[in-house]
Amino acid sequence: MPDEADATPKKRTLTRLKRIAGQVEGLMRMIEDDRYCIDVLTQISAAQAALGKVGEEVLERHLQTCVAHAMTSGDPADRDRVVAELMELLTRSSSLLR
């Protein structure tokens, strides 16, 4: 298996999401098997943290590509649009910044 650091950002993100999907499937089995609540909650916390990391990576790529382009394009409408999008995102989901 190739080193994850050598993969493209898209492939790394998909790999992480597949791992998270496996965690969620494991959580479903834990619930079906009536596993101890603290064990389930611990695994939920781990899945949330992993999903948060994916969100951070996607946000970073967005800032480095889409936002950077809009800020340097010379188009005030494009710049204003991405700033508004980011403000809406931050207002809606401050958990991305944890």
- Determine the pLDDT at residue 13: 96
Domains in the chain, number? 1
Q: Is residue 19 part of a domain?
A: yes
On the CB side of 60, CA atoms within 13 Å amount to 10
The answer as to whether 42 is a domain residue is yes
pLDDT, one tens digit per residue, over 18-32 is 999 999 999 999 999
pLDDT for 27-47, tens place per residue? 999 999 999 999 999 999 999
Cα(91)–Cα(2) distance, integer angstroms? 38
The pLDDT of residue 97 is above 70: no
Establish if 1 belongs to a structural domain: no
Place of tokens 């992993």: 50
Q: What is the CATH number of the domain that holds 32?
A: 1.20.58.1000
On whether residue 3 sits in a domain, the answer given is no
Residue 3 has pLDDT above 60, yes or no: no
Segments forming the whole domain that contains residue 37: 9-97
Look at residue 66 and tell me if it is in a domain. Answer: yes
In a domain, 4, yes or no: no
pLDDT at 92: 87
What integer pLDDT is reported at residue 93 of this predicted model? 81
Q: Cα angle at 52 between 49 and 53, to 5 degrees?
A: 90
> Residue 62 is inside which H or E element, if any?
helix 37-62
Q: Report the distance separating Cα 63 and Cα 80, nearest Å.
A: 14
